[in-house]
A and B are shown apart, each in its own frame.
Chain A
Amino acid sequence: MATSSNDSPALLDIAEVSKSFGSVEVLRSVSLKVAKGEVVTVIGPSGSGKTTLLRCVNFLESYDSGSIRIDGKEVGFRDGGARQRRSERDLASMRAETGMVFQSFNLFPHLTAAGNIMLGLTKVRGKSNSEARSIAEHWLGRVGLAHKADSLPAELSGGQQQRVGIARAVAMEPKILLLDEITSALDPELVGEVLAVVRSLAEDGMTMVMVTHEMAFARDASSRIVFMADGGVSAVGPPKEVLAVETTNERLRTFLARFRASHF
């Protein structure tokens, strides 16, 4: 199977990660390498572990075994094999290297659009208010919301809120951007504006791992697609291969057939 990650060193290296919630095994020895500049899309039926995998990458969820490295550095555990959880302070600075955009936007409701973006810049990156403000304005411009800098989240549409969410994540200049079903909570007519922003970030070379149900978008924008089923990676490859109608992977064929039936 073609994997472009073999040629260049992996920016994100997920190796044999397993995780259980009680007796339910949500991740079964998942391995995945993502190279710099790649856009990797994770698809699969609900409950297949996609979101959990994504949340392990910035350690919003811990995992039971295996390792996740970004630029060679273990994310959640201290170096040296003892599997000792990093201090909260270390975790915070590790997390600052990844950006995350959430299904439910999760903007801070008491801060304006610009304020949402500035919080991390001032408190984590140590930038001055005026510097942070101009970075926030730059990114709001990029997502087409320059005129909404001083609006509160409650005054924005879902699509606008999500674009602020994206701006908040990328303004921190993360090494990798995690997108967790970012269009699932949006009205259909608002999906396009959000995906357009993601596409332009991909064109800029932003490394992204996204979980989505937007199959057409996944096909057009991804370097590779990962199909997860029952907590494991069931198929991985370029979009054309994975989304091919004649795939021999039984689970994938069922998923795609069901998906086509409900969406086309």
Chain B
Amino acid sequence: MGYTLNFNLIWRHFDKLSGGLLLSLELALISIAIGIVIGLVLAVWYVSAGRVVRGVIAAYVEFIRNVPLILLVYLVFYGLPTVIDVAYSAQTSFVATLALYSGAYLVEVFRSGLEAVPRGQIDAGKAIGLTPWQRLIHVRLPTMMRITLPALSNTFISLFKDTSVASVISVPELTYGAQWINFNTFRIVEVYLVVTAMYLVTGYVLLFALRLVERWYRTAR
């Protein structure tokens, strides 16, 4: 034993952590924004498509869901540029990966949401003469959003935690900041205690904020 906690070195390098946290949030936000677009487009396509398209979309979803995120990150960052002639920063590479990753999960979320829209509402949309596109925009998607918003919030929060994987390709987000401080100060317990608290508090704040958004959305008029 004989280990004395000393947080002074952590506070001295706290900018690594605060900056890292902001970058983590940014990575999660951009990724889920793109992921929502991917998820929505593919889910809408899926429910109206034939077997071939469904098969392709299902294959994408299954592939992503069954491969560990860290492997996807390696594949996109190290693998892809050696096969095809592309160059991108670690950060861009990670956002692309996380967007594809969240997109696959969100296809499932949105697809089940679309299928849960009561048939009666679609009938009502038909009965007043809405075209299929109008029914999608004005009836099915708003109802689907109400159904899927809690799942969407949960996806965002786990995505926020998943941004820690970006540290393996040296994206200076929160976990990377922790590793940097650890390597330079050897205050391993302190730094990971602080970082854990930061993830925890941020996660809770996000959850709380998203629940407020959900409640607002349910009663908005």
Check if A and B associate: yes
- Check A123–B124 contact: CB distance below 8 A: no
Residue with the highest number of chain B CB atoms closer than 10 Å, among A89, A119, A168, A172: A119
The smallest C-beta distance from A143 to any residue of chain B, in angstroms, reads 16
Q: Cβ of B134: which chain A residues have Cβ within 8 Å of it? A: 92, 123-124
Q: Which of B121, B129, B220 contacts A172 (CB 8 A)?
A: B129
A255 adjacent to chain B (CB < 8 Å): no
B138 adjacent to chain A (CB < 8 Å): yes
Binds B, one of A15-23, A33-41, A104-112, A201-209: A104-112
A99 adjacent to chain B (CB < 8 Å): yes
Q: Which of A104, A110, A115, A119 contacts B120 (CB 8 A)?
A: A104
Fill in one digit per residue for A84-106: 1 if any B CB lies within 8 Å of its CB, else 0. 00001101111111111010111
Total A-B residue contacts, Cβ distance less than 8 Å: 81
Q: Cβ of A94: which chain B residues have Cβ within 8 Å of it? A: 129
- Check B129–A102 contact: CB distance below 8 A: no
- Check A88–B131 contact: CB distance below 8 A: yes
B219 adjacent to chain A (CB < 8 Å): yes
A120 adjacent to chain B (CB < 8 Å): yes
B126 adjacent to chain A (CB < 8 Å): yes
A210 adjacent to chain B (CB < 8 Å): no
Q: What is the CA–CA distance of A123 and B126 in the complex, to the nearest angstrom?
A: 12
A75 adjacent to chain B (CB < 8 Å): no
B12 adjacent to chain A (CB < 8 Å): no
Count of chain B residues with a beta carbon within 8 Å of a chain A beta carbon: 22
A58 adjacent to chain B (CB < 8 Å): yes
Q: Cβ of A123: which chain B residues have Cβ within 8 Å of it? A: 130, 134, 138
Q: Rank and list the top 8 A-B pairs by shortest CB-CB distance, nearest first.
A: A96-B129, A120-B128, A106-B120, A106-B124, A100-B127, A124-B129, A110-B142, A92-B131
A residues at B contact (CB < 8 Å): 58, 60, 88-89, 91-100, 102, 104-112, 115, 119-120, 123-124, 150, 152, 168-169, 172
B residues at A contact (CB < 8 Å): 118, 120-121, 123-132, 134, 138-139, 142-143, 146, 219-221
Q: List 21 A-B contacts (CB under 8 A).
A: A58-B127, A89-B131, A94-B129, A96-B129, A97-B129, A99-B128, A106-B118, A106-B124, A107-B124, A108-B142, A108-B143, A110-B146, A115-B221, A119-B130, A119-B138, A123-B130, A123-B134, A124-B130, A168-B124, A172-B128, A172-B129
